[in-house]
Chain A
Amino acid sequence: MNLTLKIWRQKDSNAKGQMVDYKVTDISEHMSFLEMMDVLNEQLVNSGEEPVAFDHDCREGICGMCSMYINGEAHGPDRGITTCQLHMRMFKDGDTITIEPFRAAAFPVIKDLVVDRTAFERIQQAGGYISVNTSGNTQDANAIPISKHAADEAMDAATCIGCGACVATCKNASAMLFVGAKVSQYALLPQGQVEAADRVQNMVAQMDLEGFGNCTNTGACEIECPKGISLENIARMNRELMKANL
């Protein structure tokens, strides 16, 4: 198939970016979206132009590196996937595809489609962990009884790959689905409950400090999340913060 691509080009974080049109031809419908981008970049390199910078790593939907806002949706028009899992069969010959970086004041553009998502790491560092004394007599985690229900819910929350699609898709650039998932995965387990109050307070404080917006419960994040993280995690985070303050 032959496509027209409208891509955000921005030299560096200080430069003023703009949308630039490109044409790609003979794209196979079996290609992933990133492979299509590779074809474009080969074309650009061969003609002596600067290739389009975009994030990617594992290319199997696990690492959460690939971003891109494609035709007005985070990770493009398919559901439950990252951009590397988006296939060109989702598009038609002759389509014009708009490709933009994830937009949020807390995710500044580094170059072209690459954005700085280290704000998520700073939120994690603020409390997204449990303190374990590794003196040599660390207990086996499996020695602590945990209900199947709690274990399942914690596991669901822990599947968050921190890709930032929730922020990108939210009209308020809110990070509450991400933070809600990280708070929940520990709050649901006995090992995490010991530090639950400090964790939620510190992570929410860091989230606010980073300049993310406020959740208005539109539910867009849950739908665009490649891992199907539920809005219930945001409700749990709200409860945890209320509990920590009472």
Chain B
Amino acid sequence: MSGFFKSSIGRKVAMALSAFFLMFFLLQHFAINLLSVFSADAFNEVSHFMGTNPLIQYALQPVLIFGVVFHFVMGFVLELKNKKAQGVSYARNNGAANSSWMSRNMIWSGVAILAFIILHFIDFWFPEINTKFIEGDWSGMHDGQFRYYHELQEKFVSPVRVGAYVLAFVFLMLHLLHGFTSAFQSMGSTAGRKKVLQNIGKIYSIIIPLGFVIIAIYHHLNHNH
């Protein structure tokens, strides 16, 4: 089996498996963010649960970190191998004649998403780890109130950060528009070539990033009131 994951196809399968996991995580993250629009209390409750539940903190969180790092590292490794396999570049190449921009530029949309994840970690994840694991404060409280909703709103005050956030989600949409159906194909399923799944892919790829963007803009505007 270890030989399988060293083969070109095995690596495709590994990319697809990590992609499915990340797409599932994204859906879950979106659902929680959406709560913040409807109820600050509900958002606080769920955030506190996610942030303190031992199963999530000690089992799922490391798996998620591994999934993210694996998907990026493998993506870069495969890109380098593929560049090498191509050898000399064409003087004239009409890529648009037979493939989508998204499919030809997964590495660039991926790099944009990586840049966003670094910003996101600096904004949320590192302070969270610092509070809980270094300062040892697992209460989730600040000045007698849950801190999560307040922290979320604080981050969306700056229009520059909201702008970067929106741009990152445009790249995420482009990445998903190819990645969603591509992952099925890599897993050996022809379902990604069927209209039904292509439409589900389009809906997922557009609605989720657009939803994240709307939530960010909502908090940006709401805070300024």
Residues of A participating in the B interface, judged by any CB pair closer than 8 Å = 6, 8, 19, 69, 71-73, 77, 98, 100, 103-106, 169, 171-174, 176, 204-205, 207-208, 211-220, 223-224, 231-232, 234-239, 241-242, 245
Q: Which of B11, B82, B106 contacts A173 (CB 8 A)?
A: B82
**14 pairs from A and B in contact (CB 8 Å cutoff):** A8-B91, A72-B95, A98-B91, A106-B85, A171-B99, A173-B86, A211-B85, A213-B85, A214-B81, A218-B103, A219-B103, A232-B190, A238-B9, A241-B10
**Interchain CA distance A215-B11 in the complex, whole Å:** 10
Task: Given A100-B90, A214-B78, A219-B98, decide whether A235 and B189 contact each other with a Cβ distance below 8 A.
Answer: yes
A232 contact set on B, CB distance < 8 A: 190, 193
Q: Is the CB of A218 within 8 A of B188?
A: no
Q: Find the A residue at minimum CB distance from B191.
A: A235
> Residue on A with the closest CB to B189?
A235
Q: Is residue B100 contacting chain A, with contact meaning CB distance below 8 A? A: yes
Could you tell me the distance between the alpha carbons of A175 and B212 in the complex, rounded to whole angstroms? 39
User: Chain A residues near B1 (CB, 8 Å)?
Assistant: 245
User: Which partner residue on chain B sits nearest A172 by CB separation?
Assistant: B82
CB distance from B195 to the nearest CB of A (A): 15
Given the known A-B contacts A6-B91, A173-B85, A215-B12, are A238 and B186 also in contact in the complex, defined by CB atoms under 8 Å? yes
Cα distance, A236 to B185, chains bound together (Å): 9
Query: Does B97 make an interface contact (CB < 8 A)?
Result: yes
Given A105, A205, A242, which contacts B85 in the complex, CB threshold below 8 Å?
A105
- A211 partner residues in chain B, CB cutoff 8 A: 84-85
7 extra interchain contacts, Cβ-Cβ under 8 A, other than A169-B98, A214-B11, A216-B103?
A172-B82, A173-B82, A204-B8, A213-B85, A217-B178, A232-B193, A245-B4
Q: B157-188: which have CB < 8 Å to A?
A: 178, 181-182, 185-188
Cβ-neighbour of B90 out of A103, A215, A241, A242 (below 8 A): A103
Q: Known: A214-B11, A238-B188. Is A100-B91 also a contact (CB below 8 A)?
A: yes
The CA of A214 and the CA of B90, in the complex, are separated in Å by 19
In angstroms, Cα B135 to Cα A164, docked, is 61
Contact B85 A219 (CB under 8 A): no
Asked if residues B187 and A171 are in contact (CB atoms below 8 Å), the reply is no
Known A72-B93, A204-B8; contact A242-B13, beta-carbon cutoff 8 A: yes
Interface string of B92-120 (1 = CB under 8 A from A): 11110111100110100000000000000
* Chain A residues in 8 Å Cβ range of B189: 235
Q: B126 → chain A, closest Cβ, in Å? A: 32
Cβ distance A234 to chain B, nearest Cβ, rounded Å: 7
The answer to whether B94 touches A71 (Cβ under 8 A) is yes
Are B193 and A72 in touch, CB under 8 angstroms? Answer: no
Complex formed: what's the CA distance from A207 to B10 in Å?
Answer: 13
Q: Which of A72, A105, A173, A236 makes the CB contact (< 8 A) with B188?
A: A236
Q: Is B7 an interface residue (CB 8 A)?
A: yes
Q: Which residues of B contact A237 (CB under 8 A)?
A: 9
A19 to B85, CA, bound (A): 22
Residues of A within 8 A of B7 (CB): 204-205, 208, 241
Whether A171 contacts B98 by the Cβ 8 Å rule is no
Contacts of B91 in A (CB 8 A): 6, 8, 19, 98, 100
A-side contacts of B81, CB under 8 Å: 213-214
Give A110 to B95 CA distance when docked, in angstroms. Answer: 25
B88 at the interface (CB under 8 A from A): yes
Evaluate whether A217 and B92 lie within 8 angstroms (CB atoms) in the complex, with A172-B85, A207-B8 already known.
no
List residues of chain A with CB within 8 A of the CB of B85: 104-106, 172-174, 211-214
Nearest CB of chain B from residue A236's CB, rounded to whole Å: 7
- Assuming A100-B90, A235-B189, is B84 touching A73 (CB within 8 A)? no
| B186–A217 CB distance below 8 A | yes
Q: Which residues of A contact B90 (CB under 8 A)?
A: 69, 72, 100, 103
| Contact B4–A171 (Cβ < 8 Å) | no
Q: Which residues of A contact B144 (CB under 8 A)?
A: none
Contacts of B93 in A (CB 8 A): 69, 72
